[in-house]
Amino acid sequence: MSLAHKQKAHQQKYFALAALIYGAISWGVIWYPYRLLNDNGISGVQSSFLSYWLALLIGGIIFWRRYPHISKVPKFAYWLSLVAGWTNLAYVLAVIDGEVMRVMLLFYLSPLWTLLLAKIWLHERWHKPQLLAIALSLLGADLMLTDGQLAWPWPQSSSDWLALSAGIGFSITNVITRFSTHLTIAAKGMLVWLGVFGLSLLVLLWQDGFSGLAFASSLTSGTIVLMLLIAFMLISATLLVQYGITKTPAIQASVLFMFELIVAAVAAYFLAHESMSLIEMVGGFCIVAAGLLSVYYSEQ
């Protein structure tokens, strides 16, 4: 390999790592503008509806040349849109009402659900390290949900339920994605944004009918700026993370994704004055270790 090719490869590697770190930072702090919008009278469902509508609009402008290809995705890809839509909507609703790190860690139980779903749907074999990952995930969930009482780990609030369902949805999304390797980054991004927009619209209509869409009076210059900021973060993080994943080994990418938890912990402490108990920290450590273990041995 020539020196020029080596330099180009190194540049791509560093850019991919930077892209993944940017994605982790974005997802670690995106909860905060959603909370600010909620404090200004725009609910989580309404802000999801508007921010993902903006993401769809801007994405449509960026990818307009690829629209014929995006519009011809196979029908099963819309299951990806539906499940990913619920994943993102449930996550937003959870972090608005719940403690940020608790929501994050319950969401990060997703490797447990992925292993279970891969066994059921893809008939993948389990190995001893993966069984250890399942045990660690369950122990972490028990510690997080029962405050160390080692009782049945039943969710304690609606935000717990939403966080768990978002993690399950993320796992289903991962499994579906294994059948969707031919989809482009643009198609995947647009499908996810369409899913959140569509589900948010349905929830608003179900809750309050068409009056649920009449929240224009709550929009101010400040809230509009927040909406645009969220849309920019959604689009940039989605595209950059997809690029980073294609250029980075899965194990290394998964470790970098865990940086999101550090960012969220710091942001929650300084922005929302939230902190975790020692038991919750131990449970979180178990969940993170299980996630890394499951990914590492899935690549062996």
Q: Are 177 and 84 in contact (CB under 8 A)?
A: no
Kindly indicate the confidence band of residue 156, based on its pLDDT and cuts at 50, 70 and 90. confident
Structure tokens at 43: 């609910």
Please, what sign has the CA dihedral across residues 227, 228, 229, 232? Answer: positive
Task: Write down the pLDDT at residue 8.
Answer: 65
Confidence at 198, pLDDT banded by 50, 70, 90 = very high
Q: What is the pLDDT of residues 70-93, one digit of tens each?
A: 566 667 778 888 988 999 999 999
Report pLDDT for 35. 95
> Which sign, positive or negative, has the C-alpha torsion 27, 24, 57, 191?
negative
**pTM (predicted TM-score):** 0.83
- Does residue 167 lie in a domain region? yes
Average pLDDT, the chain: 80
Which residue reads 């250890």 in tokens? 132
Residues 183-195 have a mean pLDDT of 81
Q: Residue 127 is part of which domain span?
A: 28-298
- pLDDT tens track for 240-270: 887 777 777 655 666 677 788 888 888 998 9
pLDDT reading at 115 higher than 90: no
Query: How far, in Å, CA of 94 to CA of 96, rounded?
Result: 5
State how many domains the chain has: 1
Identify the residue with better confidence: 185 or 106: 106
Is 98 part of any domain?
A: yes
Please tell me the predicted confidence (pLDDT) of residue 86: 92
Distances in Å between the Cα of 231 and the Cα atoms of 33, 117, 139, 245 are 11, 31, 36, 21
pLDDT at position 281? 83
pLDDT in tens, 203-244: 988 887 666 666 666 778 889 999 999 999 998 988 888 777
Residue 36's pLDDT is 94
Q: Distances in Å between the alpha carbon of 206 and those of 45, 72, 169, 203? A: 12, 30, 21, 5
In a domain, 282, yes or no: yes
> Of 163 and 283, which is predicted with more confidence?
163
Domain assignment of residue 12, yes or no: no
Tell me if 225 is assigned to some domain. yes
State pLDDT tens for residues 280-290.
888 888 888 87
Q: Measure the CA–CA gap between 201 and 273, rounded to whole angstroms.
A: 32
Taking each helix axis from N to C end, the angle separating 250-257 and 259-271, rounded to the nearest 10 degrees, works out to 10
- Return the pLDDT at 37: 93
Q: Per-residue pLDDT averaged across 146-160, rounded?
A: 73
Return the percentage of the chain with pLDDT > 90, whole number.
Answer: 19
Of 140, 119, 168, nearest to 283 (Cα)?
140
Query: In this structure, is residue 185 part of a structural domain?
Result: yes
The neighbour count for residue 258, using CB atoms within 10 Å, is 13
Residue 102 pLDDT more than 80?
yes
Q: Does residue 18 lie in a domain region?
A: no
Q: Is residue 214 part of a domain?
A: yes
